[in-house]
Amino acid sequence: EADIYQTPRYLVIGTGKKITLECSQTMGHDKMYWYQQDPGMELHLIHYSYGVNSTEKGDLSSESTVSRIRTEHFPLTLESARPSHTSQYLCASAGTSGPSSGANVLTFGAGSRLTVL
Amino acid sequence: SQKIEQNSEALNIQEGKTATLTCNYTNYSPAYLQWYRQDPGRGPVFLLLIRENEKEKRKERLKVTFDTTLKQSLFHITASQPADSATYLCALHTGGFKTIFGAGTRLFVKA
C-alpha cells in the first residue's frame, strides 16, 4: 500500500544534540514537504522539494536542513537541538500527475513529536 | 500574502445534527480549496477539494461550498457521529508548489 512513513514518532533529547527525522514515501511523488505544528496552531511550511537534488526553504524560518538524494527519501536534520525546537514535525508529499495534481493535495505522515530538554 | 481564517472556537454539536465549519481567505481566490481532517497527534488526512468554478461538492455525508465573491468555503457534515470529532483544516494552493493551512476548527460531537 502506498504510504508515507516518519521515524521516530517520538523523540526526547538533550540540548545540543544532533538529530535527523526520517521521512520516506512509496508513492513516487516528486514533491515533498516538511511542516512544523505546535498544539492548536496552524501548520507552518519549513522546507520543500520539487524533486531529487532540489530543496527550498518554506515560509517559516527554521534552523533545520533537508536533503533530497532519492525521490522517496526527505530527511530533516537539526545540527544542535534547542528547547525552542520542541514541536511536531509533519512530512508530506504530493504527486505531479492525475486529476488533482494541480491542487497540490498532500499525503501526510503520522508526524514526529520532538521534545528538547 | 494569502491568509486563511478558521473559527478558533471549538464547535460542540449533538449526534445526528449537521456541523458547519467556516473557512475565510484573504487576497486572491485560489484555483482549488481543500479540506483535511486531523486527529490528535496525527498528520492531516485529505477529505475533499473544490475547484473555483464549482459551487458545491459532496462526498457521502460531507458537503463543501465555495463562494469566491465572499472568499469563503463552508464545510458541512450531515448526520454527525461521535467518530467525526476531530480538527478540520482548510487549505489552499498558493501557486508554485506550496499549500498553506488554516489553524483548524475543533469539532466535538456528543452522543
Full 3-state SS string of chain B: CCCEEECCCCEEEECCCCEEEEEEECCCCCCEEEEEEECCCCCCEEEEEEECCCCEEEECCEEEEEECCCCEEEEEECCCCHHHCEEEEEEEEEECCEEEECCCEEEEEEC
Cβ proximity of B87 and B106 under 8 Å = yes
Task: Report whether pLDDT(A19) > 60.
Answer: yes
Predicted confidence band of residue A2 (pLDDT cuts 50, 70, 90): low
If one counts every other C-beta atom within 10 angstroms of the C-beta of residue B46, the result is: 19
Q: What pLDDT was estimated at residue A99?
A: 65
Torsional sign, CA A59, A45, B75, B81: negative
Tens digits of per-residue pLDDT, A57-114?
988 878 899 999 999 999 999 999 999 999 999 999 998 766 666 778 899 999 999 9
Q: Which residue of B has its CA nearest to A96?
A: B97
Q: Residue A73 has what DSSP assignment?
A: B
Chain B positions touching A50 (Cβ under 8 A) are: 97
Rounded Cα distance, B101 and B6, in Å: 10
C-alpha cell, B58: 459532496
Task: Please tell me the total number of residues recorded for chain B in this structure.
Answer: 111
Query: What residues pair up with A63 in beta bridges, in sequence order?
Result: none
Question: What is the rounded average pLDDT for all residues in chain A?
Answer: 91
Cβ proximity of A71 and A51 under 8 Å = yes
B104·A42 Cβ contact <8 A: yes
A92·B34 Cβ contact <8 A: no
Cβ proximity of B73 and B67 under 8 Å = yes
Tens digits of per-residue pLDDT, B59-110?
999 999 999 889 999 999 999 999 999 999 999 887 667 888 999 999 999 9
Q: Which of B34, B98, B105 should be substituted to probe chain A, the one whose Cβ sees the most A Cβ atoms within 10 Å? A: B98
